[in-house]
Structure 1
């Protein structure tokens, strides 16, 4: 199943429809800009970034057997990503994500990942019955029940499990990973607060609180403010490079992929965090190609 893959990316694979405006916007604004459609979804964004960082990812997800799905699979293959393990549904449409961005950040977004949720455990069938010991990047677009099963599954007990919630609205879906003490959690400050049912003023405080609530390891970001990695080896906090922001959708996924790739190369906590923050800064500045 995975002989040609360095890491399995499990979660959303969909089309990103992004409207971007070069000036500030507020609720109700009607502004000129550009609208693009690109392959996206948390798992796919992470996989594309991992590929750029020299790894060979394989995707586990659900994609409709429709025109949009065929185009999406072709786009993934053109980017060198493994698609043979993707569940193709005859009766579920290909998922999509729509966002509006401006110079002052993300204005609004809607994620339609209902087909992935409806597919359920069908996307995990390629794992079979043999425990997997490699690396896994998992996103929170799976159902609550399925995420809980993954957190407790003996098939992934020995995997290098990296988990992201996909959005603040889905942060609480990661609670099973606190309860089981499995995996490295990648969250922003808001998501950390939701998981801990409180408010944090810094990534350092948030990361330490996640450990106290049972997380094996936590990586907490806060936009242009300091980010923190906390685990059994200690706590490391760094400030991201200052850059002009030209895009935000996919920045967290780029950060996560860069951090995974850096640690797979054997870098220390400090060096890996520095690499990941630099990669995310290049991405939001528009200097990294998608």
Structure 2
């Protein structure tokens, strides 16, 4: 790409291995279904949606110099995603994510993002070495971050001068990594995209609804919180007020990547000048279409 990217997606870029079954599944279930391998990871899921919606995203992540990594980079390029800024190393394997989904939602998942964690701050070099930004000339565009980055690296991004001008959009990646977003609460920076469970973990409290969760996050220091709650109402809140909308009702055919689709669609809508209530509705509609299988994986 000759033009600068519209947005940087920073975090996990890997292969998703997902087993899906139309059956209701309990612990120990052994049922027929389909197993697919797809490009994935929160940062890449966001980038794929952004690219489908007409933006030019670039990835900041770690991908191994192995067969899986070469295939993944080629697939990203085919989708119109800039990969020139990826950190690639012979010593790191390409990361993977494995999930099992049933008619009753996500049953279990394991994220193997060890290479991303080992690479650490190396993935951010393009923001300080002049390729995307430099010391004294910080990046002033949008950065979509995910909680697969280490807690130390997220702390640095929340406070370091190199990121002071950036529009930070942050997702935890999973409830198990929600606490990694605490630096953004302490710094009062960024827009946090979380579900109700992740908000409860960050607030260390039982929260009954998205509006209650968004208010609790603001009380703990968040600059802005966008909270979803499955098929229940979502809430976008900041110091200026809050907006609540209920998403469309759809038949659930998949769940992995739905939150990433919501976040990407919300970013695209706001970049296009949509008001907050319209941006929230567009994000909900995009996520609903994804969940129902009406958009590509």
**Runs of 4+, deviation exceeding 3 Å:** none
Among residues 245, 249, 268, which one is paired with 2:252 in the alignment? 245
Among residues 251, 266, 278, which one is paired with 1:271 in the alignment? 278
Does 2:97 correspond to 1:97?
Answer: yes
> 5 Å matches for 1:1-290?
3-128=3-128, 129=135, 130-290=137-297
Task: State TM-score, norm by structure 1.
Answer: 0.98
Q: How many residues align?
A: 290
Note if contact 2:218-2:239 (Cα within 8 Å) is conserved in structure 1.
no
How far apart in 2 are the matches of 1:11 and 1:120? 10
How far apart in 2 are the matches of 1:141 and 1:183? 17
How far apart in 1 are the matches of 2:260 and 2:2? 22
| Residues 1:197 and 1:116: Cα distance change in structure 2 (over 3 Å) | same
Task: State TM-score, norm by structure 2.
Answer: 0.96
Q: Secondary structure of 1:247's match?
A: coil
Show CA shifts across 1:130-180 (max 9, x none): 301001100010111110000001111111110000000000000000000
How far apart in 2 are the matches of 1:94 and 1:42? 15
RMSD: 1.0
Q: Secondary structure of 1:274's match?
A: helix
Q: Secondary structure of 1:97's match?
A: strand
Q: Secondary structure of 2:215's match?
A: helix
Show CA shifts across 1:91-124 (max 9, x none): 1100000000011100100000000000000000
Q: 1:232 Cα shift? A: 2.6
Q: Secondary structure of 2:251's match?
A: coil
How far apart in 1 are the matches of 2:147 and 2:108? 19
Q: 1:13 Cα shift? A: 0.1
Q: 1:22 Cα shift? A: 1.0
> Which runs of 5 or more residues in structure 1 are unaligned?
none
> Which runs of 5 or more residues in structure 2 are unaligned?
129-134
How far apart in 2 are the matches of 1:186 and 1:212? 16
Note if contact 2:218-2:238 (Cα within 8 Å) is conserved in structure 1.
yes
How far apart in 1 are the matches of 2:116 and 2:31? 33
